[in-house]
Amino acid sequence: MSFEQFQETLTLPTPPNGLPVLLEALWHDAKGDWEAAHNIAQSKEGTRSYDRLHAYLHRVEGDTFNAGYWYRRAGAEVFKGSLKDEWTHLAKAYLENA
C-alpha cells in the first residue's frame, strides 16, 4: 500500500481489513479517535515502534512531559515538526515496514 492509498482509506467509516495495527492506530488518530489509537500503542509497551507511536499520541494530547518519556523509551529524538508532519513520518515508516 502506498502512502496515498493509505490516506484514501481515511474516507472509509472503518479501517480496512488487513491494515497493519500501527497503521490502524494512525488511521484512528486521523479520524479523531485518540483513545482507540492510544489503546493500540499501549498494547505492546516496550516495543520500540509502539512506544514511538505512544510518544506521538501524547504529543497530540498536549502532554509533552509524557511524550518525552515515550520518545526516550523508543530511543527516538523528540520530533521537531508539526503533528501533521509527524503523522506523515510515522505512516510512511510503518508502510515501509508493513
Tell me, yes or no, whether 14 lies in a domain: no
- pLDDT of 78 reads 96
Whether residue 79 is contained in a domain is answered as yes
Residue 25 burial (C-beta neighbours within 10 Å; 0-12, 13-18, 19+): buried
Task: Establish if 88 belongs to a structural domain.
Answer: yes
Which residue is listed with cell 508502510?
95
Predicted confidence at residue 97, as pLDDT, reads 87
Q: Considering the domain boundaries, does residue 84 fall inside one?
A: yes
- d(CA 67, CA 61) in angstroms, rounded, equals 9
Number of domains in the chain: 1
**For residue 80, is it within any domain?**
yes
Domain membership of residue 16 (yes or no) is no
How far, in Å, CA of 46 to CA of 10, rounded? 28
| pLDDT of 90 | 98
Question: Could you give the CA distance from residue 27 to residue 52 in angstroms, rounded to a whole number?
Answer: 16
Q: What is the enclosing helix (H) or strand (E) of 68?
A: helix 64-74
Q: Which three cell numbers stand for residue 71?
A: 520518545
The answer to the question of residue 15 being in a domain is no
What pLDDT tens digit does each residue of the chain (98 aa) get?
999 999 999 999 999 999 999 999 999 999 999 999 999 999 999 999 999 999 999 999 999 999 999 999 999 999 999 999 999 999 999 999 87
Per the domain annotation, does 85 fall within a domain?
A: yes
pLDDT tens profile 37-56: 999 999 999 999 999 999 99
Containing structural domain, residue 47: 3-9+21-96
CB count within 10 Å of CB 2 equals 9
pLDDT at 23 (0 to 100) = 98
What is residue 31's predicted lDDT score, i.e. its pLDDT?
97
Output the pLDDT for position 91: 98
